[in-house]
Structure 1
Amino acid sequence: MTQNLYIPASTGGTLMSNMPLITSIEELTAEVITDLLQAAGSLTESQHVTAVEPVSFGDQSGLLSYLYRVGLTYSDGAQGPATVVVKLPTDDPNQRGISDALGFYNRECTYYNVVAPTAPFKTATIFGQAQATDSTDFIIVMEDLGHMERIDQVIGATLPEIETVLKALAKLHAVYWGHQDLENLSSTFLPMDNPIYHAALPGIFGAGWASLKVNAPDLLDPEIIEFGDNYSTHLPQMLAALNTPTTLLHGDYRADNLLLDEEGNLAVIDFQITSMGNCAFDIAYFLSSSVTSETRAAHADQLLHLYHDTLTAEGVNYSFEDLEAGFRVALAFCLIYGVASFAGWDSFGERQQELMRSMASRTIYSILETNALDSLNAN
């Protein structure tokens, strides 16, 4: 049965809001959390949160948003979640500028409202959210998934983890493959060939590319340097190739956004870059950013077949040859994800710099090992 995804946003002071628009963690009060948990049925009307204690998720430099784990104290006899997670916009000017230009915050709020109820994997329960109508300010208060184990992106996903997340990804793509309501959502979850990407991505890539060549020149070889220097020239071809066939893309499907419980059940977070386009993009992004070069090279064909077999079993008619061709174009395009964050290199902490180097290195190796650039040079 086809599910109806489209739910238009409300009008007024906030979009899709069930709580006050709070713009800093210092504004969060016990009364606000009480109202949200009572509305969710986690507390009765006579039970209350009496204190909130927010703690930042460590070094968040280079991220698009700030996350806080908020400890909750309750009135006598009340039992609710020990913690919730609060998400707010970054104040990093580079990352905030990218997020504002491409509508990333609205995408995540819309995803949780519209798509999450039909997604084929667990997402965090949303207790409350609000968006401004006159800016890109937002807040999300959500379930804490801290009991689940995050896949370590720097170390790289193991083969069993890779298989689990690719099967889930195929099921996500199958649910929304050519879905009747995607057109209604295309102004939020932008298609890959949207003009805004043609306008914004050359500058985003260029700023990071200049920094990468200074701060990590050891990762580059002549073929990649030539491609990077001419990335904007190839961009229209890559975006056109990745625009169809159309399904819903997670957009940031990498290890840091994937969690597993003790039984191996998957939860997925962070939907700020959700978009529409060719399924190969999500696959290439995950395999080039979150898997060691050695593991990917040894198992790439097996893993592509696993994804394709799952997609086919879900009723999607798409040839493996087309998937493989799209995968190679997507690998070339994904160089931007290993490059863009380098624009803020000097302001990032050690872990973020290590993550940036690993993403860039793995993506570059994937491009070279698969001869992905031949798919561009042949046209």
Structure 2
Amino acid sequence: MADFPTRPDEVDAVWLEARLADAGVLDGARIVKVEWQSIGTGQVGDTARFSLTYDRPAPLAPASVAAKFPSSDPTSRQTAASFSLYKREVNFYRDVAGLIDMRVPRAYAALLDDNGCDFVLLFEDLGPCEAGNQLSGCGIDQARDALRQAAALHAATLDHPVLDSEWLQTDPQASAMLRALYPQAQAIFRERYADALDPALMAICDELDECADLWFDRKPARRSFLHGDFRLDNMLFGIRDGQEPIALVDWQTAAVGCGLTDIGYFMGCGIGSGLRRPHEAALLDLYCAEMTRRGVAMTRDEIMDDYRIGALHGVSTAVFSSAFVVRTERGDANFLSMARGACELALEHNSLGALKRRMENA
């Protein structure tokens, strides 16, 4: 059993005070009152905001903090544990956040039990802010801010030793499970959404299922640290009441791979085709310029195949996640939105053809 809280109602002033004191932000102040409320729309984790009252003025002490816990839903919780999602997020804050200047919340505590199912993250509250919303979309300035953040992550971690950390290595058992379950996931996806997704787009999903081994066997020429779920629901805009433009949260699917996987994912299932199509070239040029400014020279022509293939990450994520997390009305809308945008990008850019050519020449 974990020796830390794993639900919001288990958090008390004593535990919070100890964590914040360790972080050096209390300056001797004592917490005399704690109130909490649920926030966020996560599928595999539960998040809450804790409002704090102190016994004296403490300039560095936060008026509120955010905390993340395992999902209260048994299906989502078991899925997350099976694929080490909680382990990855905790270790991101422990080992990677300090290496990058991408804006992420400061972590006051990052604790994980040996079972991989129980964890707690305590971090700074970045509100007031606007939570990104997959279904509402975003504006072009927010898309630009996101791509600048992606470059901050990918350039700083390119070929970095942290990529060889034990917790980032592929688990053969989990990988085999993913391959074995993928056809079942596609069958569930097709049954649920065949009437809602254009047949030409569902055909992309079917074809990716047919060549899933190519998808799972691909190897990047150079590696960076990936967010893995780089879309609007995992972004906060106008943080700290507009003092900063953006922050990235939800690192449960962090991985090692080609940075363009995050970019293809974001441009497809992240922002949707309505925003992508008129701005695609300029946004890709912006990412390349940011990477080049950070010491990793690249041009749009050089990245296009990686970008095309990266879009398929949105297809596979929508298909697999929709089958194996708790089903909700918002979740259905979310997965459809992701699949639609990713499949449209994949269809327009022949992503499956690019994947097949890449693997034939591997």
In structure 2, the partner of 1:88 is 69
Q: Does 1:352 align with 2:335?
A: no
Decide whether the 8 Å contact of 1:293 with 1:366 is kept in 2: yes
Q: TM-score, normalised by structure 1?
A: 0.84
Match of 1:291 among 252, 271, 296: 271
Q: Does 1:246 align with 2:226?
A: no
Letter in 1 for 2:345: S
Note the alpha carbon deviations across 1:210-240, whole angstroms, 9 max, x for none.
3332332234445544443353442332234
Q: 1:341 to 1:241 in 2, by over 3 A?
A: closer
In structure 2, the partner of 1:110 is 91
The 5-angstrom pairing of residues 281-320 of structure 1 reads: 281-318=261-298, 320=300
State the 1:152 CA deviation.
Answer: 2.6
Letter in 1 for 2:22: A
Instruction: Specify the SS of the correspondent of 2:69.
Output: strand
Note the alpha carbon deviations across 1:298-326, whole angstroms, 9 max, x for none.
22222212211221222224454441101
Q: 1:338 to 1:277 in 2, by over 3 A?
A: same
In structure 1, the partner of 2:103 is 122
Decide whether the 8 Å contact of 1:242 with 1:281 is kept in 2: no
In structure 1, the partner of 2:351 is 372
- Distance in 1 (alpha carbons) for counterparts of 2:175 and 2:301: 27
Q: 1:319 to 1:293 in 2, by over 3 A?
A: closer
Decide whether the 8 Å contact of 1:179 with 1:247 is kept in 2: yes
Instruction: Specify the SS of the correspondent of 1:141.
Output: strand
In structure 1, the partner of 2:27 is 44
- Distance in 1 (alpha carbons) for counterparts of 2:80 and 2:325: 18
Letter in 2 for 1:256: D
The 5-angstrom pairing of residues 191-206 of structure 1 reads: 195-196=172-173, 198-206=175-183
Letter in 2 for 1:287: M
Specify which structure has the higher proportion of helix: 2
In structure 2, the partner of 1:55 is 37
Q: 1:197 to 1:329 in 2, by over 3 A?
A: farther
Letter in 1 for 2:275: T
State the 1:206 CA deviation.
Answer: 3.6
State the 1:24 CA deviation.
Answer: 2.4
- Distance in 1 (alpha carbons) for counterparts of 2:7 and 2:24: 26
Structure 2: 5+ residue stretches without partners = none
Structure 1: 5+ residue stretches without partners = 1-12, 15-19
Q: Which moved more, 1:64-73 or 1:198-207?
A: 198-207
- Distance in 2 (alpha carbons) for counterparts of 1:110 and 1:140: 10
Instruction: Specify the SS of the correspondent of 1:120.
Output: coil
Q: Does 1:98 align with 2:98?
A: no
Q: 1:28 to 1:267 in 2, by over 3 A?
A: same
Identity of aligned residues (%): 27
State the 1:258 CA deviation.
Answer: 1.5
Q: Does 1:64 align with 2:44?
A: yes
Decide whether the 8 Å contact of 1:30 with 1:50 is kept in 2: yes
- Distance in 1 (alpha carbons) for counterparts of 2:321 and 2:18: 38
Instruction: Specify the SS of the correspondent of 1:155.
Output: coil
State the 1:83 CA deviation.
Answer: 1.6
Q: Does 1:340 align with 2:320?
A: yes
Letter in 2 for 1:325: D
Q: 1:240 to 1:300 in 2, by over 3 A?
A: farther
Q: 1:227 to 1:179 in 2, by over 3 A?
A: same
Instruction: Specify the SS of the correspondent of 1:128.
Output: strand
Q: TM-score, normalised by structure 2?
A: 0.88
Q: 1:289 to 1:333 in 2, by over 3 A?
A: closer
Decide whether the 8 Å contact of 1:234 with 1:376 is kept in 2: no
Q: 1:278 to 1:238 in 2, by over 3 A?
A: same
